[in-house]
Structures are given as C-alpha cells and as structure tokens.
Amino acid sequence: MTEATLVEAVGLALACAMEDDETVLLLGEDIGVDGGVFRATADLIARFGAGRVMDTPLSESLFAGLAVGLGAQGFRPVVEYQFMGFIYPAIDQILNHAGRLRNRTRGRLTCPLVIRAPFGGGIHAPEHHSESMEALFAHIPGIRVVIPSSPARAYGLLLAAIRDPDPVVFLEPKRIYRALKEDIADDGIAAPLDQCFTLRAGRDMTLVTWGAMVVETLAAAEILAAEGVEAEVIDVATLKPLDMAAILSSVERTGRCVIVHEAPLSGGVGAEIAAGLANRGLVNLLAPVQRVAGYDTVMPLPRLETDYMPTEERILRTARRVLAYA
C-alpha cells in the first residue's frame, strides 16, 4: 500500500498504465522535464523517456489534434492541459474529431484519448485558472466526462479512462490535490466508469455532488446527522454518461434531493440531474429538487472567490429548506 494525495495518485496511475502498455503516451506543456505545473508527471520522463513523455509547444489545438491522430492509429495518448481554462482552443479537435471518429468511420476507427486538466477554484489563482466548465464537455456526443474526488478514485478512474476505447475528459479538482491522503494499492485495478459512488448511506435526503464539492457535502451531512437527519451522499464521478439509475434509486428511498456543484447554476450538470428526477422520479419526491451552485458570472478573483464557491453553510441552509416541506 502507498499513501498518496490525489495528485500523487494521478502520477501512480499514469506510471502504472505506461508500464503495462507501451502505447500509452503523455503529451503536454512542461510535463516532461518540469513534471507539470502541479508535478503530476514528476520523474516520468526519467523512467519512460522523452519519446513517451513529450513536452509540447504552447499550442493547445495543435497537440490535441496530434493526440487524436495518435489515438486513431493505435496509441493511447494522455494529454495534460495545465488548467481547464486553457482547453478551449482544443474544443474544435475534441468536438469535431475525437468525439465523432467512431461514428464517422462506422466503428472502423476509435479514439482512445484521455484529456486531463486541473479544474475548479479555491486556490486564488488568476483568471482562466479557476474554471469549472464541465457541462461544456458533457454536452459533446461521444465524449465521456470523469471527475475524481479522492486519491483512490483518481487512481482507479484514471486507469479506466486510459483503457477505455473512446475519448475521456478527465477533470482533476486541484483544490483537493493535496488536501488528503489515502492508502492506494497501486495494483493496476481500475475503478468502474459510468457509476456513481455512494459515500454515505442515509434515509432522509439525498445529496448529489462531484469533485471538490464532496468535501463540503460530506461535512454538511455530518452536521445534519448530529441533528438527527441522515443524508445519503452520492459522488457522481462520471458526469457523462450519467448514472441516473443510482440517483433515482436513492431518491426513491429518501424523497428529497439537493444537488451541489461548483460550476455556474444555469445549464449545468445539476440541471440535467434535476430534469431526470422530474421526468422519472417525480412521484417519489416529497419536496422540490434544489441546487447549490456557483453563480452565473466569471469567477470573481481573487477577493470574492470564497463568496462564489458553495459552502457548507449554503448546503445546510438549502437542505434544511428542503426538509421543511411536509
């Protein structure tokens, strides 16, 4: 067993995948000699060589296109973008090529590509460094979107993403990169994609969340438990395709649901979950579904960042309002 932080777990998973499969290649700005902005790829160039850990030019669209070509020709490229806000020049390649290749060739070609990026706020970074735009990628057909919330899940989910035959956007919540450590077996066993994780069982309400917001949501659930309210906490983990069945099953038992995410409120994945509950779980609801989210504005850096992000207090206030319905 190895005790690791989330960012260290990412590095362990990358090394494991590269050891097991010589077609796994890493591409990105400063990932080789410097080991990446957050050191996720530290020492990998020394271990696997510059032919497999490649420092790229400062051209996000260029190396996204290169990765699509590599994926189509038998490799398994893993691309790192330094921050989520730097991915946008590559959306043309992701949307028009990576996500469409299987359909375009009627299955003759696939694109086993992983795009990694630190995302989310909470570290007082400059503009473009604190984005939480996961809904953009969840809207693209053919793209799987995965967000880990702990070191162990980061390890297992990244291995699963690399082994998947289709493109995966793998977003890493940098606020909790080094916030906690877990024991990781480093045994090469992947975690299941396309499934929610139930982090806490409960009977009175369901709290649905993902990424760094798992921390505040679990903390709120602890306070509610002290008040006699047992909240079930679900980590969505794979936002696309969404494991709606697990969420519906939970809400069928609890009758109440609060969705927590850092991204802006409008058009978010939380709205998709709420729509699914309205469409397929309405008869089980004892109260309206509520969302606790970021605001429909650019992250107000640096001084108002903590006011923008959902807090334990906001989650509790919303949960108590939902519980107040008869």
pLDDT reading at 108 higher than 80: yes
CATH no. of 2-184? 3.40.50.970
Minimal CA–CA distance to 18: which of 81, 79, 82, 78? 78
Distances in Å between the alpha carbon of 139 and those of 95, 134, 245, 279? 10, 9, 19, 19
pLDDT band at 127 (very low <50, low <70, confident <90, very high): confident
Confidence (pTM)? 0.97
Return the pLDDT at 301: 87
Task: State whether residue 198 is helix, strand or coil.
Answer: strand
Kindly report the average pLDDT of the chain as a whole number: 97
pLDDT tens track for 152-211: 999 999 999 999 999 999 999 999 999 999 999 999 999 999 999 999 999 999 999 999
pLDDT tens track for 240-258: 999 999 999 999 999 999 9
> What is the enclosing helix (H) or strand (E) of 223?
helix 213-226
Domain ranges of the chain: 2-184, 197-323
Residue of 97, 124, 128, 129 marked catalytic? 129
What fold characterizes domain 197-323? Rossmann fold (3.40.50)
Tell me if residue 129 is catalytic: yes
- The token pair at 180 is 């906690």
Residues 157 and 237 sit within 8 Å (Cβ to Cβ)? yes
In degrees rounded to 5, what are phi and psi of residue 72?
A: -70, -20
Return the pLDDT at 283: 97
Return the pLDDT at 1: 87
pLDDT band at 326 (very low <50, low <70, confident <90, very high): confident
Q: Do domains 2-184 and 197-323 have the same CATH topology?
A: yes
